[in-house]
Amino acid sequence: MNRNILIIDDEVEILHSLQRQFRRKYNVLTCSDPKEAIIMMKEHDIQVVISDQRMPELSGVELFGILKESHPDTIRLLLTGYTDIEAVIDAINHGSIYRYIQKPWNSIELEAILNEAFEKYDLIHTNRNLMLKLKQHNKELDQKVKERTEELEKINQNLEILNSEKNTFIRTAAHDLRNPIGVAASMANLIALEINSLPQNLQIEYLNIIEERCDYSLNLINNLLDISKIESGQLDIAAESIDYKDLIQKTIEFNRIFAKLKNIEIKTDYYDDPIIAMLDKQRIEQVLTNLVSNAVKYSYPDSQVIVKVSRKGAMLRTTVIDSGIGINEEEHKGLFTPFYKASSRPTGGETSTGLGLAIVKKIVTEHGGSVGFRSKPGTGSEFWFDLPQ
């Protein structure tokens, strides 16, 4: 860093004398007008100012009072005679002057004072830089604390939401299991109590109800286990090369039994034959079964369900289209949430656990795919999923 000194005195001889003494060690600037000195301070990086006290228009003390405000770090040294001591001491007490030098000065003493002045400036400058760094560090630290606090608040909010969802999940699961088990138990108890007097046709009807309720409960438990595996990251995807068309046909044949009860025709639309894909056969069959069975459940009797396979870029898209009652727009957001049940009910009184679509989305996501749908009340629904082929 350059060592710059500005010397102000209305006597040119003094300026020349001081310049000769210090020009080898410092970069010495001089002027005879205090007002010019103020301008020079703005134009140059001055560390030390030496000014005579007695000058026309503006005294050294008055000049230093101005420079104290505009350049507080600059070290100010005053040249003065004995008659000005009182004013000088007052200026020192107010912090305008670092040291004063009596005329005539001792050259060695003045050089020592200059060395101290530059050391003082370096100390002030270093301290100011440290304070700026500390201020910046504190600002950054405050920002980090703020960000961390916001993160913790968000985590706490998410934990509260998860805890609420968990409690809702448990209550819903318990409710959905208790009802069918309760019905089955009541029917079994009724048969046991009236086994001798109960007509055979009623016994068969009650046994069918028991079987249906047990199947529902078993399906719910299996779905709960699947959800648990997926959420805990324990769902393993074992992809293999399969004929996708054969898998779809197998799923359709399984659901055709239930479709016939409502006289619903299941049609297919393939873009190619055969369609070879790398998929987890068991899991994708589960996805297809959920979507096709939902389409059958929510379609009107004497209608049709279409399973369509097409290409979307590098993805294999499977779309299941029903002729059902559709879903209200305000209910779209929650469709893939576990246990969510829209206001639309199955057209044949079939049961629904509210877990099927949640499982569909999670299995497809684990395959690196995505799901989507569109639906309006009275126009049916289309559900699709895209998978890497």
pLDDT at res. 89: 74
Q: Which amino acid is at 289?
A: T
Does residue 53 lie within any of the structural domains?
A: yes
Residue 358 confidence (pLDDT): 85
Residue 120 lies in a domain: no
265 located within any domain: yes
* pLDDT number for residue 310: 92
Q: Is residue 115 part of a domain?
A: no
CB proximity list for 217: less than 8 A, separation 6 or greater: 177, 180, 181, 184
The count of domains in the chain is: 3
The answer to whether residues 166 and 44 belong to one domain is no
CB 379 within 8 A of CB 323: no
Per-residue pLDDT of the chain (389 residues; tens, 9 = 90+): 689 999 999 999 999 999 999 999 999 999 999 999 999 999 999 999 999 988 888 888 889 999 999 999 999 999 887 656 676 677 676 667 888 888 888 889 999 999 999 999 999 889 988 999 999 999 999 999 999 999 999 998 888 876 776 666 666 666 556 666 777 787 788 788 887 888 888 888 888 778 877 876 776 677 677 777 766 666 778 889 999 999 999 889 888 878 888 999 999 999 877 788 889 998 898 899 889 988 998 899 999 999 999 998 889 999 999 988 888 877 788 778 776 666 566 776 666 666 788 889 989 998 999 999 998 888 889 999 999 97
Is residue 271 included in any domain, yes or no? Answer: yes
Q: Count the helix, strand and coil residues of the chain and give each as a percent rounded to the nearest 5.
A: 55, 20, 25
271/305 Cα distance (integer angstroms) = 17
- Does some domain include residue 110? no
Q: Tell me, yes or no, whether 17 and 90 share the same domain.
A: yes
CATH of residue 221's domain is 1.10.287.130
Same domain? 359 vs 245: yes
Q: Are residues 260 and 379 in the same domain?
A: yes
- Give me the pLDDT at residue 384, please: 95
Its domain, for residue 20, covers 4-105
In-domain check, residue 191: yes
Pair 221, 244 in one domain = no
Residue 76 lies in a domain: yes
**Looking at the structure, do residues 358 and 252 belong to the same domain, yes or no?**
yes
